[in-house]
Structure 1
Amino acid sequence: MPTNTRVLVAAGVSAVLAAGVVAVPPALADPARDGVRTQLDHLVRDDGFPGALASVRGRDGRVRDSTAGDKVPVNGQVRIGSNTKTFTAVVVLQLVGEGKIDLEQSVEHYLPGIVHGNGNDGSRITVHQLLQQTSGLPDYDDVLFARPDDLVALSHAYFEPRRLVDAALTKPPSFAPGAKWEYSNTNYVLAGLIAERVTQRPIGEEITRRVIEPLRLRDTYWPGVGEQRLRGRHPQGYVAVAPGAPWVDVTEMDPSLGWSAGQLVSTPSDLRAFFEALLAGRLLRPAQQQAMLTTVPAADFEPTEHWSYGLGIARHELPCGGIAWGHGGDIQGFETRNLVTTDGRAAVVAVTGLPTSLDMVKDVANSVDAALC
């Protein structure tokens, strides 16, 4: 988030920088770590990303953290964009398990009068459809970030959640609720508003209390209102706004444009630990876990193949066989992709610039597949 790939790809490939992969002495060589570094090296040297970070748990159970690029700290903090949606989905599903939210109740029931106009009707959309991305609601990204230049021009703009929703509702719905699947950040801003209405507390506080603190994700946090700097050790994040243009440093930016759809900051290691805990059943009751992992086809979720979408999490068939679960996220300065398998393997890869071609997007996703396979 904003995962408007059409805007990003339109910007074109902007720069190619040399990789800064640290050599490993032969006596200390680790084939698994070397394989991950090879993938990161490719993303920096060949795709042109300024930097890359990874945290991988291999078949042997060992965790390997790696980096490539100039001045990229191991396990540095990055903005995780739409991975925030999985955290938001966990909060909503916990509230379902507590009897405070009904997945099949309408959005209008919880947020009266908010979703209406131009054919959009909150009385016809359920909470379940918000979480599964089957509501048909338009994406506010397409309204607020219509040009590549907006990714830089609006990087310091503050957006209240209702402003995001209202921007989306200037457009008609893409389809009738439940008719098909289509990714829309608007769905998850509304999910966050519902959680706030039910708990009478800020969604960032609920994510912190219910997820971040219990899992001891020490480097993961919800930025405060107006907070634009990253708190801990971090790489710089960049955007390119036109073909052949230089990378523009957007490390300092206002993430409110993502809110409950994309505001969180984390590290590759923390993000891996979160998805590992989620898939292990440590955050949800069995009924809500089953609901989260019940998917619908979502061919457009990634430009790579074999994806379906549950409630804030995606299911992926690995090229080497087997199933993995994760999400991914894009926001100014960073792209993150991640997957966890049921047999204990996990991989998170983050790059420090938004992709400017579909090939770059595919290569980041493929690097996660390669780390698991």
Structure 2
Amino acid sequence: STVRQRLDALVQKDGVPAALATVKGRDGRTRTYTAGVGDAATRSRVPADGQVRIGSNTKTFTAVVVLQLVAEGKVGLDTSVDTYLPGLVRGDGIDGRNITVRQLLQHTSGLPDYVDHEVILNDPKRYFEPRELLDAALAHKARFAPGTQWEYSNTNYLLAGMIIQKVTGRPLGEEVTRRVIDRIGLRHTYFPVPGDMTIHEAHPKGYERAADGSLRDYTELDPSWGWAAGAIVSTNTDVTRFYGALLGGRLLPAAQLAQMRATVPADVVGPGVRYGLGLLSRPLSCG
């Protein structure tokens, strides 16, 4: 199939150890394809539909919880961040009184990113408190005035997670689990608790390419640095089920789903790319 050929090309041309893809056809059938090896040392096969760290797909889960709270009247999309986290978001050109919840979810806040890959990769088993990550971001000046440009920043979703905790009085992971994962029966998906560094089920290993070109194994790591922006572990099939349920109206009322799907240009990602509230749209050759 074309999907398998493209995965093979990723592995052969780009030197990626493994690639996985799941496609849900118009007939409703879900097919999962794999290429490469699940372990670069033993050359073992990639587990079919194995668990992986889904990284920034976590942002969509976080956005869903925020929008559920909007539907419940507990959060306002156009309310300032400072309303929920008073005095917390301050810095050079940064003021939480001038940034809205919508701008966080949409990546139009102008907040600098907190992710320093060197710090994380040098000590992958370190636990980070959300406040520590926020302080790292606020040490930099604003990228632009809120609402004037688009730029991807993990800090936006870090703050969204903090707002969820403030409004609900519960840990973010519990809210994501209760409101999304358990609600639609994602049995192979979880939000790791602090200190949970090992992927629970069969999984391919995860690597980062070092400066010298070698692969370093980062399968075991503390995902706290990703938190609301990137901590979830899932499978291709579960992620496909999640997006199907979300876009099918099973997680949000129609009004909030429409807000989520209202997009702004995000051309820096690619031609014609647009971004909503935790959703990215990209034009495809098939329309």
Indicate yes or no: 2:60 matched with 1:92: no
Q: 76, 79, 83: which is aligned to 1:109?
A: 83
User: Who is 1:234 aligned against?
Assistant: 203
Indicate yes or no: 2:69 matched with 1:69: no
Taking structure 2 as the reference length, what is the TM-score of the superposition? 0.95
- Deviation track 1:300-326 (CA, whole Å, cap 9, x = no partner) reads 2x3x422101001112211222xxxxx
Indicate yes or no: 2:210 matched with 1:210: no
Q: 5, 9, 26: which is aligned to 1:59?
A: 26
- Deviation track 1:61-111 (CA, whole Å, cap 9, x = no partner) reads 221112111221000000011111100000000000000001111111100
User: Who is 1:5 aligned against?
Assistant: none
User: Who is 2:15 aligned against?
Assistant: 48
Indicate yes or no: 2:275 matched with 1:319: no
Higher relative contact order (CA 8 A, sep 6+): 1
Q: How far apart, in 2, do the equivalents of 1:197 and 1:37 lie?
A: 45
Unaligned runs of 5+ in 2: 38-44
Indicate yes or no: 2:222 matched with 1:248: no
Q: How far apart, in 1, do the equivalents of 2:286 and 2:23 lie?
A: 17
Maintained 8 Å contact 2:208/2:215: yes
User: Structure 1 residue 134: deviation in Å?
Assistant: 0.6
Q: Following superposition of structure 1 onto structure 2, how do residues 1-373 of structure 1 map, counting pairs within 5 Å?
A: 34-70=1-37, 71-141=45-115, 144-145=116-117, 147=118, 150-242=119-211, 244-300=212-268, 302=269, 304-321=270-287
- Deviation track 1:113-137 (CA, whole Å, cap 9, x = no partner) reads 1101222100111111111111111
Maintained 8 Å contact 1:80/1:262: yes
Runs of 4+ in 1 over 6 A off after TM superposition: none
User: Who is 2:42 aligned against?
Assistant: none
User: Who is 2:40 aligned against?
Assistant: none
Amino acid in structure 2 at the alignment position of 1:307 = V
Q: How far apart, in 1, do the equivalents of 2:124 and 2:213 lie?
A: 17
Q: How far apart, in 1, do the equivalents of 2:120 and 2:109 lie?
A: 26
Tell me the secondary structure at the aligned position of residue 63 of structure 2.
helix
- Deviation track 1:267-307 (CA, whole Å, cap 9, x = no partner) reads 0110011011111111111111111000100012x3x4221
Maintained 8 Å contact 2:120/2:225: no
Tell me the secondary structure at the aligned position of residue 209 of structure 1.
helix
Q: How far apart, in 1, do the equivalents of 2:213 and 2:147 lie?
A: 41
Q: Identity over aligned residues, as a percent? A: 57
Amino acid in structure 1 at the alignment position of 2:283 = E
Taking structure 1 as the reference length, what is the TM-score of the superposition? 0.73
Q: How far apart, in 2, do the equivalents of 1:151 and 1:41 lie?
A: 30
Tell me the secondary structure at the aligned position of residue 104 of structure 2.
helix
RMSD between aligned residues: 1.1
Q: How far apart, in 2, do the equivalents of 1:108 and 1:309 lie?
A: 24
Maintained 8 Å contact 1:151/1:239: no
Q: How far apart, in 2, do the equivalents of 1:230 and 1:61 lie?
A: 29
Amino acid in structure 2 at the alignment position of 1:182 = E
Maintained 8 Å contact 1:96/1:102: yes
- Deviation track 1:343-369 (CA, whole Å, cap 9, x = no partner) reads xxxxxxxxxxxxxxxxxxxxxxxxxxx
Q: How far apart, in 2, do the equivalents of 1:136 and 1:152 lie?
A: 26
Maintained 8 Å contact 2:59/2:229: yes
Tell me the secondary structure at the aligned position of residue 14 of structure 2.
coil
Q: How far apart, in 1, do the equivalents of 2:241 and 2:27 lie?
A: 16
User: Structure 1 residue 151: deviation in Å?
Assistant: 4.9
